[in-house]
């Protein structure tokens, strides 16, 4: 009996365990069934077309189901969590498809989103690991949590503009209709602005707990949108309320520092962080204290230093790409925030990483002090060295004044511009240091108030500069210097000299002040960072006091020596007579001599065609000059090819407008002929892309290499621009142009489109979609798949009924090894109209920079291309001669070619305009 009783007991316990197991399995199956049912209904409504009519009865029941599903029921936590997660995983589009009344669900979604963005992945795994058993449960749970956070970020990206768009609009809560009678007046009223205080800080919290690379990039883009929205809101508040506190600057500070800290973990994440920083620093509305950008500059310099000091086996193409992108970010940073260069510490850090990028090591290392003449050049790669040289160029050329954003024709001058000023003398061409071309000519004296001057066209690795250089005995900035009357000579009409009358009248002194020739050259920001003499007096006060004491003792000794010399010197010195005034000058010889190009060693190498030996310290620091033969065939053709090589990044955006029931961009060309039928928001967006310029009068980038970077004749440049219609901005007649010191951009609305485009650059299409498309590639003309599709990125803009705009990107715009290669725009983002044009322009710029960074092996940078062409010109047209007389006749203007001085020209204004690019 005992054995039978034990057997029955064991069978009963096994049966109860099986029943519990079956119950648990049934519960899990029920939970999965509930979750799938909620996922299905969310997918059905989220897939609705933007203009599709849905009966209010269906919408109300759908909203009620979501309200019940988003609740967290105590006692049934597992099922509630499964349903909430299922809803979040299938609701990323629900707030951007024009569903009526959907905004009342915002507070219901925010509560679970806040929960999942506040916890980290380890906490989530530990809370859910016991719910399932298996070998790979931890990785499965981790992947699910990452997808939930991604969908939550995408939902926030859809609704973050609503609090700023509606702001004080009263929000009706779902519970007010369910739990209270319609006759009862609700006591709690909420506005959309309350969501702003909840969503904006939540993004920074989510960034701190985020561990996935893709999610972090989406957070970068969403935070970037939040920064602009917050800054615009603060500016509006400042205009209405003077006592309003500036919360935007504080939020921007935390956002920038968080992005810098988060972005160093992964190369693609770091590139996204750099794009975000560039987007923020170039936004004029996002103002931050200079100490924040100083911190950013320090971190970027530290990153480059750390990367380039890694072991050789860790140096990869991807790592070098991040270093190049960091150098480019520093360039943008010092251009947009030039006050950074006022700090000696910032300038020192920049010089250190420039030196590290060019030579491969720093002079002031921890091991020893390396002098420049002993340094060996071993850069990490040629790309890194070029990026460092570009930063050095901008650092020492960037002016203390505002940069010339309006000077769109800064490289539009060449030799033909000065033909009417020159009589018969041609330009002389020289090659300096093997990487710079000088084109020099003497300006006629009668055009320059009787003073010698040189016109210099300097074609270097980073562009073309045009200067006029005057030769004076006294600095033009100090006209108060008393001239030595005994040395003044005037040239009379018959060529004889006569002594002027001495007068003490102030009017005579004023007449002798020289008229300035052109515009004064501004000092660079790097010059202003050098400490002044007065700033270091306190530091060396002790040494200065010692010097003063020595000076007091030395003065009497020197005075006694001078007196003794007068006593013993009985021979009277003859009167010093001034030299005769010259009416002809060899200005080019003066320029080359004054700047060290005509040293004895340089002339010897130039005359005999010797090669410089870089291994010798003396040869390394000698100025190297070579004479070029401009009379050779095809010389000026090669010069023009060099001028048509842009030194900065250029990119193009083609704009299209697709109405309803139009399916490809080929159907959109006729829409521009009737602008009154277009959406007014589209016209406003287009007008904010840039300035309207005519292609024939424009010397910058026009969207086509055939019509870009040309010399504009004076007849065209002096013509007043006419008002253009939107139909005329087609790329042939006119374009919309935008430029800064690093980028020039052209936008236009083409009248035709071909897949076979000869340019190797990425083609970026901006398509306005009145009817939303899931597949943006379908708007392209039907054609066989080819590599041309790879070079076409499409940015779609769909206007929503709430007057916000949904952004969509094709797969190509997101393919470049990054989820967000077009920051600040991200697929699915909803933005207002006031920042739409600015974000689009930045997105075009980001896509172009990413494309060039990705294709660094197959395509040359502007720097390397210009360097190659300059080297070929030097090798092809170098003038080698053994005859010294012939050599000097070629290199200098003959003194026998006198230029008559026109005395009347001293009172005539100078028609010459100095242009410095």
Using 50, 70 and 90 to split pLDDT, how confident is the model at 329? very high
What pLDDT was estimated at residue 515?
A: 35
pLDDT at 786: 55
Residue 485 lies inside a defined structural domain of this protein: no
Q: Find the helix or strand (DSSP H, E) in which 584 lies.
A: none
In three-state secondary structure terms, 259 is helix
Residue 625 sits in the same domain as residue 744: no
131 pLDDT tier (thresholds 50, 70, 90): low
Cβ contacts of 311 within 8 Å, gap of 6 or more: none
The tens digit of pLDDT for each residue in 728-748 reads: 898 898 999 998 888 889 999
668 and 528 in a common domain: no
CATH value at residue 707:
3.40.50.11210
Does residue 451 surpass a pLDDT of 80?
no
Does the pLDDT at position 896 exceed 50?
no
Q: Which residues of 855-867 are buried (b: 16+ CB within 10 A; e: fewer)?
A: ebeeeebbbebbb
Mean pLDDT, rounded, for 814-838: 83
Question: Of all helices (H) and strands (E), which one includes residue 16?
Answer: helix 2-46
Q: Do residues 785 and 651 both lie within one domain?
A: yes
pLDDT tens digits, residue range 612-627? 555 454 444 456 778 8
741/878 Cα distance (integer angstroms):
32
Q: Where is pLDDT greater, at 70 or 895?
A: 70
Residue 502, both tokens: 């001495």
pLDDT digit string, tens, across residues 637-682: 999 889 888 888 889 999 999 999 898 999 999 898 888 999 999 9
Same domain? For 181 and 43 the reply is yes
Least confident of 69-83, 435-449, 482-496, 729-743: 482-496
DSSP state of 771: S
Per-residue pLDDT, 522: 63
pLDDT band at 769 (very low <50, low <70, confident <90, very high): very high
Q: How confident is the model at residue 587 (pLDDT cuts 50, 70, 90)?
A: confident
Mean pLDDT, rounded, for 403-423: 63
Band (101; pLDDT cuts 50, 70, 90): confident
* Strands lying side by side in the sheet with 830-831: 691-694, 734-739, 743-748, 649-658, 763-769, 792-799, 805-809, 830-831
| CA pair distance 888, 603, nearest whole angstrom | 10
* Token pair for 290: 């200079």
As a whole number of angstroms, the distance between CA 219 and CA 221 comes to: 5
- Confidence tier at 820 by pLDDT (50, 70, 90): confident
Q: Residue 801 and residue 804: Cα distance in Å, rounded?
A: 7
| Measured distance CA(821)–CA(823) in Å, rounded | 6
678 vs 811: which has the higher pLDDT: 678
Element (H, E) at 127: helix 121-128
Asked whether residue 845 falls in the same domain as residue 888, the answer is no
Q: Where are the beta strands (DSSP E) in 567-630?
A: 625-628
Question: Which of these, 532, 536, 534, 526, lies nearest to 343 by C-alpha position?
Answer: 526
Place 862 in a pLDDT band, splitting at 50, 70 and 90.
confident
Pairing of strands 463-470, 453-460: antiparallel
Domain span at residue 798? 639-854
Q: Above pLDDT 70, what percent of the chain?
A: 71
Positive or negative torsion for Cα 820, 271, 463, 342? positive
Spell out a b/e string for 517-530, using b for 16 or more CB atoms within 10 Å of the CB, else e.
Answer: bbeeeeebbbeebe
Cα→Cα distances 707→172, 828, 879, Å: 57, 36, 33
Helix (H) or strand (E) holding 183: none
Same domain membership, residue 742 and residue 612: no
Structure tokens at 365: 């290392």
- How many whole angstroms separate alpha carbon 908 and alpha carbon 903? 10
- Residue 719 domain-assigned (yes or no): yes
- Between strands 763-769 and 649-658, the pairing is parallel
- Is 801 or 365 the better-scoring residue by pLDDT? 801
Q: How far apart are CA 444 and CA 677, in angstroms?
A: 59
What the block records as the tokens of 640 is 């023009």
What does the block give as tokens for 757? Answer: 């485009």
CA distance linking residue 643 with residue 533, whole number of Å: 42
Q: What is the pLDDT of residues 18-58, one digit of tens each?
A: 555 555 555 666 777 888 888 899 999 988 887 788 888 99
Domain-located, residue 891: yes
* Among 281, 190, 288, 178, residue whose Cα is nearest residue 234: 288
**Amino acid 203: pLDDT:** 94
CA pseudo-torsion sign 782, 783, 785, 789:
negative
Same domain, 780 and 660: yes
pLDDT at position 906 over 60: no
Spatial contact of 85 and 143, defined as CB atoms under 8 Å apart? no
- Helix, strand, coil shares, percent, the chain, to 5: 50, 10, 40
Is the residue at 459 inside a domain?
yes
- Smallest CA-to-CA distance from 442 within 468, 416, 417 is with 468
pLDDT of residue 215: 92
Q: Where do we find the tokens 């009966």?
A: 55
Dist CA 148 CA 346 (whole Å): 42
Q: How far apart are CA 801 and CA 819, in angstroms?
A: 28
Give the tens place of pLDDT for each residue, 472-520: 665 555 444 444 433 333 333 334 333 333 333 433 333 333 333 344 5
**Cα Rg of the chain (Å, integer):** 36
Instruction: Please list, in sequence order, all residues whose beta carbon lies within 8 angstroms of the beta carbon of residue 58, skipping any fewer than 6 positions away.
Output: none
Looking at per-residue pLDDT, the higher value among 511 and 806 belongs to 806
User: Angle CA(405)–CA(411)–CA(415) in degrees, nearest 5?
Assistant: 150
Question: Is 455 in a helix, a strand, or coil?
Answer: strand
Q: Any residues with CB less than 8 A from the CB of 484 and at least 6 apart, and which?
A: none
**What is the model's pLDDT at position 684?**
94
DSSP letters for 188-206: --EETHHHHHHHHHHHHHH
Same domain, 520 and 649: no
Helix (H, G, I), strand (E, B) or coil at 736: strand
> Quick count: other Cβ atoms within 10 Å of Cβ 760?
10
Provide the pLDDT for residue 829: 94
- The answer as to whether 658 is a domain residue is yes
Give me the pLDDT at residue 118, please. 93
Last residue of a domain, one of 169, 191, 211: 211
Tell the burial category of 679 from Cβ atoms under 10 Å away from its Cβ (0-12, 13-18, 19+): middle
In a domain, 365, yes or no: no
Contacting residues for 263 by C-beta, under 8 A, at least 6 apart: 216, 220, 269, 270, 272, 273, 274
* 146 pLDDT above the threshold of 80: yes
pLDDT above 90 for 174? no
Could you give the CA distance from residue 13 to residue 207 in angstroms, rounded to a whole number? Answer: 50
User: How many domains does the chain contain in total?
Assistant: 3
Tokens for 861, please give them: 């940078």
Using the predicted structure, report yes or no on whether residue 439 has a pLDDT greater than 50.
yes
Are residue 613 and residue 663 in the same domain, yes or no?
Answer: no
The verdict on 710 and 799 lying in the same domain is yes
Could you say which of 211, 239, 256 is where a domain stops? 211
CB 224 within 8 A of CB 204: no
Instruction: Using alpha carbons, list the distances in angstroms from residue 219 to 144, 149, 258, 866.
Output: 18, 10, 11, 39
**Within-domain flag for 754:** yes
- Which of 190, 211, 232 marks a domain boundary? 211
Which range, 400-404, 436-440, 599-603, 704-708, is most confident? 436-440
pLDDT (0 to 100) of residue 487: 37
Residue 591 to residue 443: CA distance in whole angstroms? 13
pLDDT value of position 592: 81
**H-helix or E-strand containing 217?**
helix 213-240
Query: Do 772 and 821 fall within a single domain?
Result: yes
What is the C-alpha to C-alpha distance for residues 437 and 870, in angstroms, rounded to an integer? Answer: 8
234 has a pLDDT exceeding 80: yes
- Top-confidence residue, 815 or 402: 815
- The residue ranking higher by pLDDT, 381 or 135, is 381
Tell whether 321 is covered by a domain. no
The pLDDT value recorded for residue 117 is 94
Q: What pLDDT band is residue 609 in, cutting at 50, 70 and 90?
A: low
- Give the least confident one: 513-522, 591-600, 905-914: 905-914
How far lies 568's CA from each of 558, 561, 571, 572, 590, in Å?
16, 11, 9, 11, 41
- Split at pLDDT 50, 70, 90, the class of 74 is low
CA-CA distance, 470 to 467, in Å (whole number)? 10
State whether 663 and 747 are in the same domain.
Answer: yes
Q: Which two tokens stand for residue 836?
A: 């739409």
Instruction: Note the maximum CA span of the chain.
Output: 152
Question: Residue 498: beta bridge partners?
Answer: 490
């Amino acid at each position: 009996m005992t054995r039978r009783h034990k057997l029955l007991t064991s069978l009963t316990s096994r049966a109860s365990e099986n029943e519990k197991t079956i119950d648990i399995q049934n519960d899990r199956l029920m939970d999965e069934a509930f979750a799938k049912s909620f996922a299905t209904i969310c997918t059905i409504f989220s897939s609705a077309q933007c203009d599709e009519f849905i009966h209010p009865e269906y919408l109300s029941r759908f909203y009620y189901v979501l309200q019940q599903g988003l609740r967290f029921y105590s006692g049934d936590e597992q099922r509630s969590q499964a349903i909430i997660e299922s809803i979040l995983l299938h609701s990323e589009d629900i707030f951007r498809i024009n569903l009526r009344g959907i905004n009342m669900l915002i507070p219901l979604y925010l509560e679970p989103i806040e929960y999942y963005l506040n916890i980290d992945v380890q906490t989530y795994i530990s809370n859910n690991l016991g719910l399932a058993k298996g070998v790979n449960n931890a990785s499965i749970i981790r992947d699910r949590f990452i997808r939930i956070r991604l969908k939550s970020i995408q939902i926030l990206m859809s609704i973050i503009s609503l609090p700023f768009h509606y702001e004080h609009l009263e929000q009706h809560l779902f519970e007010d209709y369910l739990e209270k009678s319609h006759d009862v007046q609700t006591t709690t009223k909420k506005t959309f602005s309350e969501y702003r205080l909840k969503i904006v800080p939540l993004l920074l919290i989510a960034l701190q707990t985020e561990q996935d690379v893709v999610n972090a990039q989406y957070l970068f883009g969403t935070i970037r949108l939040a920064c602009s929205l917050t800054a615009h809101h603060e500016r509006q508040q400042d205009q209405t309320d003077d006592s309003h506190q500036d919360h935007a600057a504080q939020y921007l500070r935390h956002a920038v520092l968080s992005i810098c800290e988060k972005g160093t973990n992964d190369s693609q994440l770091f590139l996204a962080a750099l794009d975000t920083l560039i987007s923020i620093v170039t936004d004029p509305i996002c103002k931050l204290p200079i100490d924040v950008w100083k911190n950013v500059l320090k971190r970027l310099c530290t990153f480059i230093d750390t990367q380039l000091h890694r072991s050789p086996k860790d140096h990869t193409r991807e790592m070098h790409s991040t270093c190049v992108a960091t150098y480019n970010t520093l360039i943008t940073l010092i251009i947009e925030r030039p006050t950074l260069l006022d700090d000696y510490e910032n300038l020192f850090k920049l010089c250190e990483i420039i030196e590290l990028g060019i030579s491969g090591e720093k002079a002031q290392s921890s091991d020893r002090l390396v002098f420049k003449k002993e340094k060996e050049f071993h850069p990490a790669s040629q790309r890194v060295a070029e990026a460092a040289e570009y930063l050095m160029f901008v650092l020492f050329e960037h002016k203390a004044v505002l940069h010339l954003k309006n000077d769109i024709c800064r490289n539009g001058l060449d030799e033909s511009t000065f033909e009417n000023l020159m009589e018969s003398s041609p330009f002389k061409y020289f090659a300096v240091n093997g990487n710079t071309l000088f084109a020099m000519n003497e300006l006629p004296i009668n055009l320059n108030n009787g003073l010698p001057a040189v016109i210099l066209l300097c074609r270097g690795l980073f562009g073309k500069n045009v200067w006029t250089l005057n030769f004076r005995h006294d600095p033009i900035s100090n006209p108060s210097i008393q001239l030595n009357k005994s040395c003044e000579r005037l040239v009379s009409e018959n060529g004889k000299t006569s002594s002027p009358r001495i007068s003490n009248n102030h009017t005579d002194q004023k007449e002798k002040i020289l008229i300035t020739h052109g515009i004064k050259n501004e000092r660079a920001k790097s010059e202003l960072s050098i400490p002044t003499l007065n700033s270091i007096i306190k530091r060396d006060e002790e040494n200065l006091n010692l010097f003063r004491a020595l000076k007091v003792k030395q003065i009497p000794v020197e005075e006694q020596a001078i007196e003794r010399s007068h006593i013993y010197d009985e021979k009277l010195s003859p009167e010093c007579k001034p030299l005769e005034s010259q009416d002809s000058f060899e200005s080019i010889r003066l320029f080359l001599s004054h700047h060290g190009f005509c040293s004895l060693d340089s002339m010897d190498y130039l005359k005999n065609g010797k090669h410089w030996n870089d291994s010798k310290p003396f040869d390394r620091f000698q100025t190297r000059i070579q004479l070029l033969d401009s009379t050779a065939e095809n010389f000026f053709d090669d010069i023009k090819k060099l001028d048509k090589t842009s030194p900065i990044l250029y990119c193009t955006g083609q704009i299209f407008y697709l109405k309803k029931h139009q399916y490809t961009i080929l159907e959109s060309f006729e829409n521009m002929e009737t602008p009154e039928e277009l959406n007014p928001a589209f016209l406003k967006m287009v007008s904010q892309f840039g300035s309207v310029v005519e292609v024939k009068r424009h010397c910058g980038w026009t969207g086509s290499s055939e019509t870009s970077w040309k010399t504009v004749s004076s007849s065209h440049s002096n013509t007043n621009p006419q008002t253009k219609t939107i139909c005329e901005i087609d790329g042939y007649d006119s374009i919309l142009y935008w430029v800064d010191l690093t980028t020039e951009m052209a936008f236009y609305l083409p009248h035709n489109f071909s897949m076979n485009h000869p340019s190797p650059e990425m083609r970026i299409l901006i398509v306005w979609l009145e009817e939303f498309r899931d597949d943006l590639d379908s708007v392209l003309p039907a054609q066989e798949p080819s590599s041309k599709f790879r070079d076409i990125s499409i940015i779609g803009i769909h206007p929503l009924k709430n007057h916000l705009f949904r952004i969509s990107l094709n797969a190509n715009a997101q393919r470049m090894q990054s989820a967000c290669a077009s920051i600040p725009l991200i697929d699915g983002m909803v933005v207002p109209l006031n920042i739409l044009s600015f974000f689009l322009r930045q997105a075009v710029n980001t896509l172009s920079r990413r494309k060039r960074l990705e294709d660094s092996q197959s395509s040359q940078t502007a720097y390397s291309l210009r360097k190659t062409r300059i080297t070929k010109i030097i090798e092809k047209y170098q003038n080698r001669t053994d005859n010294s007389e012939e050599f000097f006749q070629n290199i200098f203007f003959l003194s026998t070619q006198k230029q008559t001085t026109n005395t009347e020209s001293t009172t005539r204004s100078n028609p010459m305009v100095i242009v410095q690019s």
